């Protein structure tokens, strides 16, 4: 009996993580702003290597990134709940959506402020630029990453059925 209860708890615990990952996946697939935040976070983390940040500075950076992503996820949840319960225009529904979007904006503005404090150092920005110009491999990777990031932000998720139609039509 104890073993069965433990197995049920483990399955329930595992299921809760799977559901949480489904929620994150939903945000990435359906929210352009989440993809923007993820892309910026990726660039920030990659270029942070040049700054010799302390453990404390990295902790602040991860907390800020987490706050922005979490705020975007909560905003998505609020919008979904409002859309679920409202069939026509409602002023309070608009207020709920605007306030949740405002919370994301507040987090993003403070993230930019932290970013300026940590990363706006002209000599290191020049060092990064020189590195990207002098190291052909990383320079090309960076240049290629820009359009790929834009495709991820504006075109993801890719509509496979459209690709199938194109192949069939040929």
Q: Does the pTM of the predicted model rise above 0.95?
A: no
Our answer to whether residue 72 is catalytic in this structure is yes
Q: Which residues of 17-40 are buried (b: 16+ CB within 10 A; e: fewer)?
A: eeeeeeeeeebbeebebbbbbbbb
- 110: which residues sit within 8 A by CB, 6+ positions away? 64
pLDDT one-digit tens code per residue, 119-137? 999 999 999 999 999 999 9
Selected catalytic residue, list 72, 79, 87, 123: 72
Check whether 161 has a pLDDT greater than 60.
no
Q: Where are the domains of the chain?
A: 1-30, 31-169
Could you check whether the bond before residue 37 is cis, i.e. omega within 30 degrees of 0? no
| Lowest mean pLDDT across 12-26, 127-141, 149-163 | 149-163
Indicate the CATH number of 31-169 among 1.20.1600.10, 1.10.287.3610, 3.40.309.10, 1.10.10.10.
1.10.287.3610
Name the least confident of 19-23, 37-41, 110-114, 156-160: 156-160
Mean pLDDT of the chain: 91
Within the chain, residue ranges assigned H as helices are 2-30, 32-47, 55-85, 91-119, 122-134, 136-155, 160-169
Percent above pLDDT 90 for the chain: 79
pLDDT band per the 50, 70, 90 thresholds, residue 170? very low
């Amino acid at each position: 009996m104890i073993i069965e209860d433990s197995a049920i708890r483990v399955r329930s615990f595992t299921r809760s993580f799977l559901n949480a990952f489904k929620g994150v996946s939903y945000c990435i697939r359906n929210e352009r702003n989440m993809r923007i935040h993820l892309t910026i976070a990726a660039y920030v983390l990659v270029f942070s290597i040049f700054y010799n940040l302390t453990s404390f500075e990295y902790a602040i950076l991860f907390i800020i990134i987490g706050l922005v992503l979490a705020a975007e996820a909560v905003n998505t949840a609020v919008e979904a709940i409002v859309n679920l319960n409202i069939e026509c225009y409602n002023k309070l529904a608009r207020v709920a959506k605007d306030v949740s979007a405002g919370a994301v904006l507040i987090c993003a503005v403070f993230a930019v402020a932290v970013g300026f404090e940590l990363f706006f150092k002209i000599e290191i920005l020049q060092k990064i630029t020189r590195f990207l110009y002098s190291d052909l491999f990383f320079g090309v990777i960076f240049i290629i990453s820009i359009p790929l990031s834009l495709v991820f932000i504006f075109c993801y998720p890719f509509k496979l059925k459209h690709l199938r139609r194109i192949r069939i039509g040929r």
